[in-house]
Structure 1
Amino acid sequence: MQITTIIGTRPEIIKMAPLIPLLDKYFDNKLIFTSQHYSKNLVDVFFDELKIRTPDVFLRTNTSKMKKLEASIYEILKKDDSQWVAIYGDTNSTLASARAAKKLGKKLIHFEAGLRSYDKRMPEERNRFETDHISDILFTPTELCRKQLKKEGIKKNVFVVGNLIVDVCLKYSKKVKPYQGEYILVTAHRQENVDKFRRLMRILTTLSQFPKVIYPIHPRTMKNIKEFRIKIPKNVTLMDPVGYLEFLSLLKGAQLVLTDSGGVQEEAITLHTPCLTLRESTERWETVIAGGNFIVGLDPLLIHFYAKQIIEGDLGNHMKNAKNPYGNGKTAEKIIKILRTEIK
């Protein structure tokens, strides 16, 4: 059976790394990369480190604009004999692929379905909602995600399998040592945080209260810092975007991670690193329920109070002992077993 798998961003590369070889093994799998993320540091190093084969098609769209992505994907899928299209997550590449596939009458497989932040201001929330409602087979990471789909009337062909990020984290974290020293790790890149002067200034001002901060910085964030002429606090070490193995080393060694990334919330609880999320909501509620993550927004006092208790008090140990809600690292195997039964 033919399947066309479409990815376009760094998180999709990382999470699909354990699944792509199995799709290749058991299906006639065509891999397309949309180039939604097109920076060399954001893409090439991840294909190399995670040993993912070269995609059959590089679309070279170099954009996150939905209409351009959908048009390019549509033209490729129009020439494609695959009946099934597989997509991951909630990016613009995800929804653009889903729309193009449905216009051509193809069936849709959605990995990481059912996540909900309930914040309709987030483009990802709108993307994942629409994608879930037009998918034919949905793989959710947790029972909570399955329940959320059920509330929306999606009950058929929904499978709880865990999260592929656990497969990746457990495999590659064994190959790296924790980064040395005492520091707080920061990953903040979301448009609503870094594209607005006041919010970006607030993040950097908040970071100035800690002894040592390491911040691998997204190119767009760096561009905004220069344009806004924001002075970097002396205690903050900026790093160019790092490869996945170096990031795991930084995350393993950190006293605490401050992030606005959904994926980092999952990686943090998998590697037992306390996490504070710099947003007003999250679609990774399981990390909050388990006790490994707190939602703090950009409130400097709240961040300071939590960080102090995590680093100096008992909260840190409690968070480190939070049970990972995303499975045991066998998600890719579970997915393939189900697909071999469901797709004939």
Structure 2
Amino acid sequence: MTAGAADEPTTLSPDDAFAVLGNETRFEIIRTLWEQYEPDDPANVVKFSDLYDGDAAVTFSELYDGVGYGDTGNFNYHLEQLTDHFVRRTDAGYELTEAGFEIARAVVAGTVREHPRFDATEVDANCPRCDAPVVVDYENHHVSAACSRCSGIWQNADGEDGVLFTFSFPPTGLSNRTPQDAFHAALAFNLNRIRSFIDGVCPDCSSVVEESLDVCEDHDPGDRGGCPRCHRQHAIEVSEVCHGCKSVARGPLSIAILAHPTVTSFYHDHGIEHRFASWETFRRGQSVEVAIVDDDPLRSRVTVPCEDDRLRLTLDESLSVVEAIRETSSVRSY
């Protein structure tokens, strides 16, 4: 499969892009082109790659009628402001560029429902700390999961215990999903994003990601949901930052390390199909032990248990595995 196009869109600065999009008619043009786009059309399967013959663009008259604008001259002016960066002109008419699609997707994902939410609902999942039922709710574009009994593994901003995770989740994700489905979808959506961050590629803009460790000094969660200093159970957190689009991901090193192929192989040798973007990974992460073993240079040790065996990984300051040791309780054959 190839990518690329003969007609590359022009480059706009952020200020210029905001200025171009700061008009209701131009947003309506992008929305109309998105609505008339047919993803199943072979001409659209691999957009702008010249792998398929055909031009599925929208004609000027179809676009004009779809937007419902009353002045042809002004409409043409607004369309020209979008052309070359958000809209591409072809022999057959007009279509969205990839930048235009990103704008349309962001608007659709965030506004398809008005203030969607569901109240606290018990789902078929058990707390990794006490095995009690998990309760989920959705508010402010976030799925939150909490233990129905114990103090959980996080404190919220007010210092209240019980939180297991809080993940962003676009309102479109609730469409045709029960709270149980949304719980698993939010995990898959966010853990897949985190995996992209771990691989060094921003899932939102494809820029290089800056990765670092945040270590809580004098960490002491006690029997609370989180340490009073950092509000979390885990002392070591991975921070992933994209300075291109300012996307951020933060989470326990004990979960991030479970994306490593050495861990996948370790579980496989024990007959476990390890899928990173799942509730099972989140649960397994709570049994992983993490410690700093050297400060200069920085070395951290991660111990992954499975049955009676242990996988011990030593990581350097870039979180690359520099040593992997399997500690086996007995000789096994697989």
Q: Same fold (TM over 0.5)?
A: no
Question: Could you say which structure has the higher strand fraction?
Answer: 2
TM range (shorter): under 0.3
TM-score by length of 2: 0.27
Q: Which has the higher contact order (CA 8 A, sep 6+)?
A: 1
Question: Could you say which structure has the higher helix fraction?
Answer: 1
TM-score by length of 1: 0.27
- The structure having more radius of gyration, on CA atoms, is 2
